[in-house]
């Protein structure tokens, strides 16, 4: 039995094996990561870490240096920050809390990992169906959905790319016993930070915000995320998890990236510029192909609907070494939907001309 139980984008190793090519030969538009190499400072930091004690010694269980680095970036006390082995690890602990609060509501279609995390604890959850068409307005009001005890929000939403307005989700905090807001993609969205719930974190103990550095810096292999929330809640999470969830290299990388304000602001500006320019380019190009409808997105991936099943399109693209995310595994979508993650212009041109050739 294979152990690849989780259906996500970015299955590079598996696809390369299936196609009999090296991973480098693939253009991966199925996982939504920044496509340029990470900042040079990161490579220098990792080299230095290898020469120091980061490999030999157990990492600092308190993650104090990383907490302080993240704290200095957000202006939030270190005690309200818990670094994690990617955002995904932190969903597991958020779900354990959710299990004690009652029924979780999962906006649908949505990121499947919340349900994985809830199932760990036999926590009850229901799908809350999102409308499948929306305007190009950014930010958008969060739709009115049936009330549950716990609400999981993704801002911007995956796979739709909708950026929810701060005001519309702020109102929901008081209506739920726990609100978990996954802001993994927020730093990539131009003007996204204005919609963050982080400024409310000291006011609402029932709010948890989860962030990730893996998409912003294109470092998914390193595994680096953090939760921001009530100090007592995060202390419990720390007691539940294993003593060394983050490795020494990831900790040093996180400290390096989060303390360098200039590097961060230059990087984020570059990412926003790329999302704006390439986002509208890819949207217009693919939308102009007969049969394909693009859906407005505020971030670095776009959802498309085809008039027929995209399984042949996905297969033909993979033969050309291009991976897109078919959306069959997203409940509420199905065979006609696919998601493409923005690349640099050369990559986006390859994707659009390949799709054009296949559908013609
Ligand atoms: C909405 C969303 N949140 C979080 C994650 C996982 O982030 P990380 O790599 O930090 O675990 C993903 C990965 O695809 C995602 O789509």
β pairing state of 27-28 and 322-323: parallel
pLDDT at residue number 241? 97
Q: Where are the domains of the chain?
A: 12-38+263-359, 40-260
Q: Do the domains spanning 12-38+263-359 and 40-260 agree at the CATH topology level? A: no
- Helix/strand/coil for 152: strand
- Helix/strand/coil for 103: coil
CA 123, CA 141: separation in Å to the nearest integer? Answer: 28
pLDDT at residue number 1? 42
| Alpha-helical segments (H) within 52-112 | 64-74, 87-101
Distance of CA 223 from the midpoint of ligand 1 (Å): 10
Q: What is the pLDDT of residues 141-160, one digit of tens each?
A: 999 999 999 999 999 999 99
Q: List the structure tokens of 187.
A: 């730093």
Q: Which residues contact 199 (CB under 8 A, 6 or more apart)?
A: none
pLDDT at residue number 173? 98
The mean pLDDT of 195-222, rounded to a whole number, is: 97
Ligand 1 proximity of 11 Cβ (cutoff 6 Å): no
Whole-angstrom CA distances from 111 to 27, 196, 261 are 22, 19, 30
Q: What is the pLDDT of residues 7-28, one digit of tens each?
A: 676 688 888 888 888 888 999 9
In the predicted model, is pLDDT for residue 92 greater than 70? yes
Task: Identify whether the C-beta of residue 347 lies closer than 8 Å to the C-beta of residue 285.
Answer: no
Distance of CA 175 from the midpoint of ligand 1 (Å): 26
pLDDT at residue number 86? 98
Q: Give the CA angle between residues 10, 91, 200 to the nearest 5°.
A: 115
In the predicted model, is pLDDT for residue 5 greater than 90? no
Ligand 1 proximity of 188 Cβ (cutoff 6 Å): no
Q: List the structure tokens of 248.
A: 């020494």
CA 114, CA 3: separation in Å to the nearest integer? Answer: 19
Ligand 1 proximity of 116 Cβ (cutoff 6 Å): no
Residue in 94, 215, 223, 245 to alter for ligand 1 test, most ligand atoms within 8 A of Cβ: 215
pLDDT at residue number 10? 65
CA 273, CA 36: separation in Å to the nearest integer? Answer: 13
pTM for this prediction: 0.96
Q: What is the pLDDT of residues 101-142, one digit of tens each?
A: 999 999 999 999 999 999 999 999 999 999 999 999 999 999
Distance of CA 51 from the midpoint of ligand 1 (Å): 30
Q: What is the pLDDT of residues 41-51, one digit of tens each?
A: 999 999 999 99
Q: What is the pLDDT of residues 65-82, one digit of tens each?
A: 999 999 999 999 999 999
Distance of CA 84 from the midpoint of ligand 1 (Å): 12
How is the chain split among helix, strand and coil, in percent rounded to 5?
40, 15, 40
- Helix/strand/coil for 140: strand
What fold is seen in the domain 12-38+263-359? 3.90.1150
Q: What's 40-260's CATH class? A: alpha beta
Task: Identify whether the C-beta of residue 87 lies closer than 8 Å to the C-beta of residue 210.
Answer: yes
pLDDT at residue number 112? 94
Task: Identify whether the C-beta of residue 27 lies closer than 8 Å to the C-beta of residue 322.
Answer: yes
Task: Identify whether the C-beta of residue 169 lies closer than 8 Å to the C-beta of residue 277.
Answer: no
Average pLDDT of every residue of the chain: 95
pLDDT at residue number 329? 85
């Amino acid at each position: 039995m294979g152990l690849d139980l989780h259906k996500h984008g970015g299955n590079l190793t598996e696809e390369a094996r299936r196609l009999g090519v090296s991973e480098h030969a693939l253009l991966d538009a199925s996982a939504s990561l920044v496509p340029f190499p990470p900042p040079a400072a990161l490579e220098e930091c990792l080299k230095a870490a290898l020469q120091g004690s980061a490999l030999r010694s157990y990492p600092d269980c308190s993650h104090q240096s990383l907490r302080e680095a993240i704290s200095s970036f957000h202006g939030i006390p270190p005690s309200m920050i818990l670094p994690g082995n990617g955002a995904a690890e932190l969903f597991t602990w958020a779900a354990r809390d959710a299990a004690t609060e009652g029924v979780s509501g999962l906006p649908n279609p949505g990121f499947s990992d919340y349900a994985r995390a809830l199932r760990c604890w036999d926590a009850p959850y229901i799908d809350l169906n999102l409308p499948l068409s929306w305007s190009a307005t950014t930010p958008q009001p969060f739709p009115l959905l049936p009330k549950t005890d716990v609400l999981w929000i993704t801002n911007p939403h995956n796979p739709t790319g909708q950026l929810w307005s701060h005001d519309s989700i702020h109102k929901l905090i008081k209506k739920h016993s726990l609100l978990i807001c996954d802001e993994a993609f927020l730093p990539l969205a131009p003007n996204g930070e204005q919609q963050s719930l982080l400024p409310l974190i000291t006011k609402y103990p029932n709010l948890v915000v989860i962030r990730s550095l893996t998409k912003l810096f294109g470092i998914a292999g390193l595994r680096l995320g953090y939760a921001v929330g009530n100090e007592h809640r995060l202390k419990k999470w720390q007691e539940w998890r294993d003593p060394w969830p983050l490795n020494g290299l990831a900790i040093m990388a996180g400290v390096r990236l989060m303390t360098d304000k200039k590097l961060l602001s230059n990087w984020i500006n570059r990412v926003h510029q790329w999302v704006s320019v390439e986002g509208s380019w890819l949207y217009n190009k693919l939308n102009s192909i007969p049969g394909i409808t693009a859906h407005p997105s505020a971030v670095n991936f776009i959802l498309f609907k085809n008039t027929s099943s995209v399984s042949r399109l996905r297969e033909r693209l993979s033969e050309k070494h291009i991976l897109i995310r078919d959306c069959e595994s997203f409940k509420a979508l199905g065979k006609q939907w696919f998601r493409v993650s923005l690349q640099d212009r050369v990559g986006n041109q390859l994707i659009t001309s390949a799709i054009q050739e296949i559908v013609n």
